[in-house]
Amino acid sequence: MLNINSVPRRQAGGSWQKRIYSRYGPWAVVTGASSGIGREIAFQLAEAGLNLVLCARSQEILQQIATELTNRYGTEVRVVRLDLAVDTGVETLDKATQDLDVGLLIASAGFGTSGSFLDSQLEQEIEMINVNCRGILGVSWYFGRRFAKRGRGGMVLMSSIVGFQGMPFAAHYAATKAYVQTLAEALYVELAPLGVDVLASAPAPTNSGFANRAGMQMGMAMKPGDVAQPTLSALGRKSTVLPGPLSKLLVYSLSTLPRWARVRIMGGVMEGMTKHQRRENNLGLGKS
C-alpha cells in the first residue's frame, strides 16, 4: 500500500461523483485495471475520492498507475497482482481485501478471440471462459455477499453489445458476454432488496488493447473515456447501459430486426474485421 500522508486529499467534484462516493465509498475494487476501460474507470473513481484496489496480471504497470493516482488525487491504492484464469485468483482477491471497507466492484477483466471457430485454439478458448465467466461469477459471489452484509454496495459487470445475439467469427467471445449480460440483469433484480446495485455495461468496440489480442482490425471504435463516465453515472439507476453514441447506434439500429437477421448482420461485420486472419492463414498454408 502506498503512503499518502504527505499528499493532499482531493474532494469529489460533480454530482455523479458525489453520489458514487457517498453510496459506494470508501474503497473500490477494479479488475483489469492495467489498461483500457478498467484503467480509465480507476482514474474516474480516484477523482471522485474513492480509494482503490487495482487488480491485473502486471505488477509493474499497476504500480505505475497507483503512483500516478496517488500523486494526482491523493488516493490510497492497493495493488493486487492476480490472474482470474487460475483457480485461486478470486480467493486471492477476496483475502487481499478482507481488511478494507469495499463498497464497489468494477469487474473489467476480460479478453476476446476472433476468427474461425474451428481454427481457434481450445486452450485459449477455455482460458477465456475462466476469465470472462468463471472469474466474473467468483467476484460477483464474493463481493455480492460482502455488500449484502454491509447493507449497500455496487457491482459493474462489463458486458458488450455482441452479447445481445450470436456473433459469427467471434462466436465464443459473444457467448461469454451473453453470460455476463444475463447474470447482471438477474442480479440487478435479486440483489436490489439487499441494497446492492448491479449494472451491465455493454459498450461497442473500444480502443483498449482488446482488438490486438483478439486479432481484429476495427474501423469505428470508442475511447475508454467514452465508456467509463456514462457507466459510473448509470450505476444504481438502470440494469444495463449502452455507453456512448456508437453503442446506442449499433444496438438500436438492429433492434427491430429478428434475432436471426441480427446474427447474420453482425457476422458480416465481424467477417470483415477478421478477413486479414484468413489471408494470413492462406499464406501460411501455401508455404511448405
d(CA 105, CA 196): 11
DSSP class of 10: P
Annotated active-site residue 173? The verdict is yes
Which one is catalytic: 21, 24, 142, 177?
A: 177
Which one is catalytic: 173, 179, 238, 248?
A: 173
Q: Of 29, 36, 22, nearest to 77 (Cα)?
A: 29
Computed over its alpha carbons, how large is the radius of gyration of the chain? 19
Q: Of 14, 47, 4, 53, nearest to 33 (Cα)?
A: 53
Q: What is the CATH number of domain 15-285?
A: 3.40.50.720
Show pLDDT as tens, one digit a residue, over the chain (288 residues). 443 333 444 455 568 889 999 999 999 999 999 999 999 999 999 999 999 999 999 899 999 999 999 999 999 999 999 999 888 899 999 999 999 999 999 999 999 998 999 999 999 999 999 999 999 999 999 999 999 999 999 999 999 999 999 999 999 999 999 999 999 999 999 999 999 999 999 999 877 654 444 444 445 678 999 999 999 999 999 999 999 888 888 899 888 999 999 999 988 888 867 665 545 555 454 332
Which parts of 119-170 fold into alpha helices (H)? 122-129, 136-150
| Three-class DSSP category at 74 | coil
Annotated active-site residue 24? The verdict is no
